[in-house]
Amino acid sequence: MSFQNPVFIPGPTNIPESLRKACDMPTIDHRSPLFGQILHPARAGVRKVLKSDSAEVFIFPSTGTGGWETALTNTLSAGDKVLAARNGMFSHRWIDMCQRHGLNVEIVETPWGQGLPADRYEEILTADTNHEIKAVLATHNETATGVKSDIAAVRKALNAAGHPALLFVDGVSSIASMDFRFDEWGVDVAVTGSQKGFMLPAGLAVVGFSQKAMEATKNGTLPRTFFDVHDMAKGYANSAYPYTPAVGLMNGLNQACDMLLKEGLENVFARHTRIAEGVRAAVGAWGLELCAANPAVYSDTVSAIRTPDGFNATDIVTHAAEKYGVAFGVGLGEVAGKVFRIGHLGSLTDVMALSGIATAEMCMVDLGLNIQLGSGVAAAQEYYRGHPAAVQKDAA
Ligand SMILES: *Cc1c(COP(=O)(O)O)cnc(C)c1O
C-alpha cells in the first residue's frame, strides 16, 4: 500500500486534509459547555444533509452496523414481522441481524444486480391486512453490487397498500453522496456511518428517526442499552452524552456537513454522478459489464465490474495492492471472485478517478485480460472533457 495514493474502495473513503485536522483535537471535557458547540451543529448539519426538517439525529460511537441495530432495537419487539429484500451482501447482513434479534423476516429474494422490488413489496403489504409487518427494510445503495434502489417507490408501495409499517433505510453508502430525501420519502429511520459520504474515519453511526419512529420506541421491547435513543436524547437535552462521545470525530462530522453544504448537496450529487459516468464509460470501453442490471439501478458511489468467466476478479484487487499500492474492493458473497469494485464516493475528483481507472487497466493487462491499455482512460477522459467539473476558485 502507498499512503500517497487515493483508495478506490467504497468505504472507508479518502479523508480531506481539513477533516483530518478537524478530527485531531486536544482532549476536551465532554461535560463542559464546549461539547455542546460540537454536538448541536453536527446534529443540525446531518439533518440538513438528510433533507429533513424534523428528524431526530443520533450520533453513536459505532459504525453503520450499529446504526442498523439502533433502528431495530429501539422500535421493534421479539417476534415482530419485518419485510426485507435480499439483493446483496449488505441487505443480507441486515436481515441476519434481524434474525439474530428474534425478528421474523419475510425475505424477498432478489437477483444480485437488481434493485429492491417495490411492486413485490406492495403486493405483500397489501396482503398483510392485519398489519403484522412492523417495518420495511430498504438498502438504498447495495454496496456489494453497485445497485441503487428507488426509495420513493418503496414509500409509494407502503402508501398504496395503506400500510402503517415503519420504513427503515440503509443509506450507509448513499447519504451525503447520492440524492437522499428523508422527509419527502417518508423515511422513518435512516442509517449511515462516518466513513463513507462524510469522508471521515470509521467510528460513528449516524441515524435519523422520524417522529413516527420515536413514537414506536415506546412500544418496542427489544433489549437496548448502548443504542438506546432515549438515553441519548436525554443527554442531548443537556448538551451531554450518556457515555463518552467520540469528540474528535463529531467535530469532523460538523465540519464535513459544512463542507458538503457549502459545495451544495445538489452539486455533491452531480459530482458523484459525473465521476461515476466516467468510470462507467471506462468499463464499457474495456468491453466489460457492470453487475448492476440496467442504467436505472447504476450506483453513483460504487461500480461492481464483472470479469470474464474463469477469471478470478479478486486477483485484480490483490495485484493492485501488491504491485501498485492501490486499493480496490473485492466481490462479496454471491459475487465473490466474479466482480471487483471501484469505489467512487466521498472526496474525489475526475483526476483522481482517472488514476484509479488507469491502475485497474494496468492490473487487468498484467493479468492477461484482453484489454487495451489506455482504452478506459480515454473513454473517461472524453466524458470528463465534455462534462467539466466546477473548479474551486477561492482559497477557502
Ligand atoms: C459499509 C456499509 C454498511 C456497514 O457499515 P459499517 O460502517 O462497516 O458497519 C452497511 N450498509 C451498507 C450499504 C454499506 O455500504
Residue from 9, 59, 65, 168 to probe ligand 1 pocket by mutation (most atoms less than 8 Å from CB): 65
The dihedrals phi and psi of 148, each to the nearest 5 degrees, come to -100, 150
Q: Are 87 and 299 in contact (CB under 8 A)?
A: no
Rounded to an integer, what is the distance from CA 352 to the centroid of its chain?
20
Q: What confidence tens digit (pLDDT) does each residue in 263-306 have? A: 999 999 999 999 999 999 999 999 999 999 999 999 999 999 99
Low-confidence stretches of the chain (pLDDT < 70) are 1, 395-396
Q: Are 196 and 211 in contact (CB under 8 A)?
A: no
| Residue 391, pLDDT score | 77
| CA 391–ligand 1 middle distance (angstroms) | 31
Which three three-digit cell numbers place residue 165? 409499517
CA distances, 192 to each of 138, 155, 289, 396 (Å): 13, 19, 28, 28
Mind listing the domains of the chain with CATH numbers?
17-262 (3.40.640.10), 264-386 (3.90.1150.10)
13 C-beta closer than 6 A to ligand 1? no
Please list the residues that pair with 170 across neighbouring strands: 139, 191
Residue with cell 466513513: 195
Nearby residues of 218 by Cβ (< 8 Å), 6 or more positions away? none
Secondary-structure percent of the chain, ordered helix, strand, coil, rounded to 5: 40, 15, 40
Residue from 148, 172, 303 to probe ligand 1 pocket by mutation (most atoms less than 8 Å from CB): 172
Please list the residues that pair with 328 across neighbouring strands: 8
Shortest CA distance to 298 belongs to which of 170, 142, 181? Answer: 142
Residue from 72, 173, 174 to probe ligand 1 pocket by mutation (most atoms less than 8 Å from CB): 173
Nearby residues of 249 by Cβ (< 8 Å), 6 or more positions away? 23, 61, 194, 200, 201, 203, 204
Q: Are 282 and 357 in contact (CB under 8 A)?
A: yes
Q: What confidence tens digit (pLDDT) does each residue in 191-210 have? A: 999 999 999 999 999 999 99
| CA 173–ligand 1 middle distance (angstroms) | 7
64 C-beta closer than 6 A to ligand 1? yes
**CA–CA separation, 270 and 266 (whole Å):** 6
**CA–CA separation, 297 and 395 (whole Å):** 37
**CA–CA separation, 288 and 306 (whole Å):** 6
Residue with cell 491499455: 373
CB-count exposure of residue 98 (10 Å: 0-12, 13-18, 19+): buried
Please list the residues that pair with 99 across neighbouring strands: none
CA distances, 23 to each of 57, 65, 198 (Å): 20, 22, 12
End-to-end CA distance of the chain: 31
139 C-beta closer than 6 A to ligand 1? yes
| CA 142–ligand 1 middle distance (angstroms) | 9
CA distances, 152 to each of 48, 105, 187, 392 (Å): 19, 22, 9, 33
376 C-beta closer than 6 A to ligand 1? no
**CA–CA separation, 273 and 268 (whole Å):** 9
* Radius of gyration, alpha carbons of the chain: 21
Positive or negative, the Cα torsion across 58, 61, 64, 67?
Answer: negative
| Residue 1, pLDDT score | 63
69 C-beta closer than 6 A to ligand 1? no
**CA–CA separation, 115 and 113 (whole Å):** 7
Residue from 91, 170, 344 to probe ligand 1 pocket by mutation (most atoms less than 8 Å from CB): 170
Minimal-distance CA residue to ligand 1 atom 1: 172
CB hemisphere CA count around 120 (13 angstroms): 14
Which three three-digit cell numbers place residue 98? 434481524
**Number of Cβ atoms within 10 Å of the Cβ of 220:** 19
